[in-house]
Amino acid sequence: MSLSRERWRADRALLNGDRAGLGRTAGALYPGVPRVAGTALLTRPEWIPDAPIPLENVRLEWEAAPAPPAVAAPADGLPDGFATYAEAMAALAAPAVFEDRPFYRLLAADLAPSGRGVLRLGPAGYFDGVDIGEAVAHELAAGVPGLPLRRRIGDPRDLSRRPALSAITTLTVTASGSYVLHWRDPAKVAHAGGLHHVMPVGGFQPLTGGPADLDLWRTMVREYAEELLGGDEDYGEAFDQEAWPFHRALTGARRDGRVRAHCLGLGVDPLTMALDVLTVAVFDDAAFGELFGGLVEVNAEGRVSVAPFDGTVPEPMQPAGAAALGLAWRHRAVLGITPG
């Protein structure tokens, strides 16, 4: 008996209505797996450095034609007429922004405790991640017996088992101890709807295909403009990021030491198997005011506010956001954060 579109929509609504609870259920499926800073985020020992790594000390390597993942674009649990989860989502439950843009797929990572790290990446598309991540979460929400898709994928930390698209989760915090908090509207986003998160957060992706834009900081700068200031995601073919005034201003503040960016580690969300590069950007208070005096209250993905950086975590919180908060709090002295 085929699955009806109405049932698929209903199960999708269950997923979006209780991502926090389903995340706890998913986390319980991986007993004994290391977690990041006491959160639900799954990790490996080599993914969490002993101390924050300056962003410029994380080397990025490119592999143009990596081996295909063991599981990709499964047809599990889809209504008739749809070959992939992204196809079904586009037709039956599309969020406000839903485009198959180029992405970077993480192939390997080592952030050993030496003050340096390496990430090896290859090409992918956004829907490659949706087809696995949202499908495996949907399967759990729908109560599919035996969770066959999750079982086929196996260890969520095994980057060869699925297209492991990487996002960059950045905790933006001032030296005096305030951070930017986001509530992700499920009507606007495909991932982590209904949860709090740090910001900016965005997929690690180039402006165009290929490795030409393989740079963590450049991606973070664009996300700052889009999420904190409400900028447009469409930059146009003639866009020159190095000449962009906002990029020059933010990068100049980093060069002058008024903004300090570090990598905190890597982790995998047990519900969607989303993989996050955890980073923190510490702003001198004056620099934050200069650059983000126009901080928006609502953006294309949800509500924006400022919260005290005091070791607490708002609930419900996306695991990567909770992990970034936990690691930054652990290393606050090294990072130069002095909460009042």
pLDDT in tens, 62-105: 999 999 999 999 999 999 999 999 999 999 999 888 999 999 99
**Residue 2: its pLDDT value, please?**
73
Percent of the chain whose pLDDT exceeds 70: 99
Provide the domain limits for residue 75. Answer: 5-335
CATH number of the CATH domain containing 202 = 3.90.79.10
With respect to residue 108, please indicate whether it lies within any of the assigned structural domains: yes
**Residue 4: its pLDDT value, please?**
95
pLDDT in tens, 260-300: 999 999 999 999 999 999 999 999 999 999 999 999 999 88
Residue whose token pair is 């340096």: 116
What is the number of structural domains in the chain? 1
Total-model pTM: 0.94
Contact between 273 and 156 under an 8 Å Cβ cutoff? The reply is yes
With respect to residue 340, please indicate whether it lies within any of the assigned structural domains: no
Helix/strand/coil for 126: helix
What confidence category does residue 301 fall into, taking pLDDT thresholds of 50, 70 and 90? confident
With respect to residue 164, please indicate whether it lies within any of the assigned structural domains: yes
For 197, other C-beta atoms within 10 Å of its C-beta total: 26
With respect to residue 174, please indicate whether it lies within any of the assigned structural domains: yes
With respect to residue 311, please indicate whether it lies within any of the assigned structural domains: yes
pLDDT in tens, 118-145: 999 999 999 999 999 999 999 999 999 9
Q: Return the half-sphere exposure (C-beta side, CA atoms, 13 A cut-off) of residue 121.
A: 28
Contact between 324 and 198 under an 8 Å Cβ cutoff? The reply is yes
With respect to residue 72, please indicate whether it lies within any of the assigned structural domains: yes
